[in-house]
Amino acid sequence: MDRIAITGGAQLNGIIPVSGAKNSAIKLMAASLLTDQPLRLTNMPRLADTKFLGKLLTRLGTHVDEREGPDGSETILHAPEITSGFAPYDLVRQMRASFNVLGPLVARTGQAKVSLPGGCTIGARPVDLHLQALEALGAKIDLHEGYVYAQAPRGLKGGEIEFPFVSVGATEHAMLAAVLADGVTVIKNAACEPELLDLQICLNAMGARVEGAGTPTITITGVAKLHGATHSVIPDRIEMGTYAVAAAMAGGEVQLTRSRPELIDSLLVKLEEAGCGVVRTEDGVIIRRNGHRLEAVDVETQPYPGFATDLQAQFMALMTTAKGESRIRETIFENRFMHAPELMRLGADISVSGGEARVRGVERLEGAEVMATDLRASVSLVIAGLVARGETTVSRIYHLDRGFERLEEKLGACGAQVRRIKGEPEDAIDND
């Protein structure tokens, strides 16, 4: 099992290009199941998660061709026919979002058998809303022995889907299924995350008729067939936010490029409030901090455009050395403070009660051995390690590899002392 070792104390200075968004890329890849023509995705991140999904899609009949194009990495996905509608547990459990193949499979072939994703480390995370959405589109759903059997032999029918609360995955899943349904589908209380709009743009380029993504109401007029398209994956706002926090933590000046600052506005406002220099540019942001200590500020996670739950762990790491006490409230997932005890091993002063963590800033952190518990938690430990005195080693970093492309290289290019220590391979476990 690989580990990452960080020697704290170096400032970060330089440029970090932001990759394509993992959370968008994996839903766009699933969209390739909806057509017998090739879907070309550019600005693709190369991550463990995109590999997992590529493996599953191959098993279902998709040719997955990863190559370097004129604008960087791209993937061409071509499913001339669906050779299997079966997504087994061993592939779905590795990444929860694999479950999103269910809708496209039923939409295209009228049936599918897909494993339930199973439990994960950041809460119960059921898929009831996904299944309700497919039922609203006329699919017959049965659950047996950990598998979802979905059937719509005469095709899906447009319908009204009203989610009781916001779910990114269920909204995307409903969109992916409804594009080939007969008639109009209206999704109410839809998630508004930018990845939804990215999916709409891609689906429409494939011939779908989707309107309203990015707002709480999405309207989809079903079409009989989709065709191939080329689509560039939206920049990864979580990666951008993570490096913004890393720069704020380590000090120095880092320019994040190939992205859009408005995607992380809720974070940038908090960084400014804490006393960090933030300059929004045309294709990203410059983060600057010279020597002075940041002030503690409070955050509460919310659906987009609120403060992203996927940046909560990183922000907590930042607050461990700020002046004063910060209150961090997590409202999206229960049990998403598993990084807190690990940060405390580095000397952080944190108490957690229910959905709230109180972080009392300390003068300095001390390097230690710590363990990654999930994808975003793991990077928070790297961020803390950037300022901890001595060496911090983070184990179980397969979590990191799921979502951060060339992390050591990107941080290293800005002067961070980060290196990977090779170990035995290990199976990844699902989380986000």
Contacts of 407 (CB under 8 A, 6+ apart): 4, 379, 382, 400, 418
The answer to whether the CB of 15 falls within 8 A of the CB of 255 is yes
Instruction: Tell me the closest approach of the beta carbon of residue 44 to ligand UD1, in angstroms.
Output: 15
Structure tokens of 328? 């961090």
**Cα of 322 vs its chain's centroid, Å:** 27
Contacting residue, 78, 108, 125, 339, with ligand UD1 by CB under 6 A:
125
Contacting residue, 170, 348, 383, 411, with ligand UD1 by CB under 6 A:
170
Peptide bond into 164 cis (omega under 30): no
Structure tokens of 345? 């091993």
Q: Looking at the DSSP assignment, which residues form a beta bridge with residue 172?
A: none
Nearest position to ligand UD1, beta carbon: 169
- C-alpha dihedral sign at 344, 347, 351, 357: negative
Q: Looking at the DSSP assignment, which residues form a beta bridge with residue 347?
A: none
Instruction: Tell me the closest approach of the beta carbon of residue 403 to ligand UD1, in angstroms.
Output: 8
Residue 116: helix, strand or coil by DSSP?
Answer: coil
Site string for ligand UD1, 270-299 (x = CB under 6 A): ------------------------------
Residue 62: helix, strand or coil by DSSP?
Answer: coil
Closer CB to ligand UD1, 111 or 331, in the complex: 331
- Residue 309 in contact with ligand UD1, rule: CB under 6 A: yes
Mark the segment that binds ligand UD1 (CB under 6 A) among 40-48, 164-172, 322-330, 360-368: 164-172
The answer to whether the CB of 1 falls within 8 A of the CB of 405 is no
As a whole number of angstroms, the distance between CA 4 and CA 37 comes to 41
Mark the segment that binds ligand UD1 (CB under 6 A) among 84-92, 165-173, 226-234, 322-330: 165-173
Mark the segment that binds ligand UD1 (CB under 6 A) among 86-94, 119-127, 225-233, 383-391: 119-127
Instruction: Name residue 388's amino acid.
Output: A
Contacting residue, 17, 104, 138, 169, with ligand UD1 by CB under 6 A:
169
Instruction: Scan residues 204-263 and list those touching ligand UD1 (CB under 6 A).
Output: none
Instruction: Name residue 381's amino acid.
Output: L
As a whole number of angstroms, the distance between CA 227 and CA 246 comes to 41
Closer CB to ligand UD1, 3 or 130, in the complex: 130
- Number of residues forming the site for ligand UD1 (CB under 6 A): 21
- Residue 123 in contact with ligand UD1, rule: CB under 6 A: yes
Instruction: Tell me the closest approach of the beta carbon of residue 238 to ligand UD1, in angstroms.
Output: 7
As a whole number of angstroms, the distance between CA 50 and CA 27 comes to 10
As a whole number of angstroms, the distance between CA 166 and CA 146 comes to 25
Instruction: Tell me the closest approach of the beta carbon of residue 362 to ligand UD1, in angstroms.
Output: 28
The answer to whether the CB of 42 falls within 8 A of the CB of 231 is yes
Contacting residue, 130, 270, 289, 399, with ligand UD1 by CB under 6 A:
130
The answer to whether the CB of 419 falls within 8 A of the CB of 408 is yes
Mark the segment that binds ligand UD1 (CB under 6 A) among 5-13, 125-133, 223-231, 359-367: 125-133
DSSP string computed for 76-91: EEE-SS----EE-HHH
- Residue 310 in contact with ligand UD1, rule: CB under 6 A: yes
- Residue 432 in contact with ligand UD1, rule: CB under 6 A: yes
Mark the segment that binds ligand UD1 (CB under 6 A) among 67-75, 122-130, 137-145, 181-189: 122-130
- Residue 23 in contact with ligand UD1, rule: CB under 6 A: yes
Distances (CA, A) of 351 to 21, 299, 319, 325, 354: 32, 15, 13, 11, 10
Closer CB to ligand UD1, 12 or 316, in the complex: 316
The answer to whether the CB of 264 falls within 8 A of the CB of 21 is no
Instruction: Scan residues 56-115 and list those touching ligand UD1 (CB under 6 A).
Output: 96-97
Looking up tokens 């002046």 gives: 323
Closer CB to ligand UD1, 194 or 361, in the complex: 194
Indicate which residue of 120, 192, 276, 414 is catalytic. 120
* Other residues' Cβ atoms within 10 Å of the Cβ of residue 258: 18
Instruction: Tell me the closest approach of the beta carbon of residue 376 to ligand UD1, in angstroms.
Output: 8
Mark the segment that binds ligand UD1 (CB under 6 A) among 79-87, 166-174, 248-256, 265-273: 166-174
- Residue 332 in contact with ligand UD1, rule: CB under 6 A: yes
- Residue 127 in contact with ligand UD1, rule: CB under 6 A: yes
Contacting residue, 126, 146, 390, 423, with ligand UD1 by CB under 6 A:
126
Residue 192 among the catalytic residues: no
Q: What is the rounded end-to-end Cα distance, in angstroms, of the chain? A: 20
Catalytic residues: 120
Q: Residues interacting with ligand UD1, by CB under 6 A?
A: 23, 26, 96-97, 123-130, 167-170, 309-310, 332-333, 432
